[in-house]
Amino acid sequence: MGEINGIDGLSDQEIHALVQQGAKFVYFEYAISILIMSFKRSSDVFFIRPGESAFVKGLPYNLITMLFGWWGFPWGPIYSFMALASNLTGGKDVTSDIVAG
């Protein structure tokens, strides 16, 4: 995973306080297929503040998957379904890993 988006200007104390209020760290998945090759990849980590929509942050990755993920057989549809299912439920929550690390 690369950088964390959305924490610019926040201190560690502010981040921990926001996490206590319901903020979370998530990443989104996307699938890309090229003829017979299919790939499932992950975005950078996003800090989702309380009341902020993870769905909106995941939209670009859902669009990439819907446009480019399906075409490789057999893994394209499988990876696409997995990525969309994960993203539409708010992404992969890695809050505990980041807060502990």
pLDDT tens, 64-89? 999 999 999 899 999 999 999 999 99
Query: What is the pTM assigned to this prediction?
Result: 0.92
**Would you say residue 9 has pLDDT above 80?**
yes
pLDDT at 101: 72
Strand-by-strand arrangement of the 45-48 sheet: 4-5, 45-48, 24-27, 92-93
Could you give the CA distance from residue 54 to residue 39 in angstroms, rounded to a whole number?
A: 23
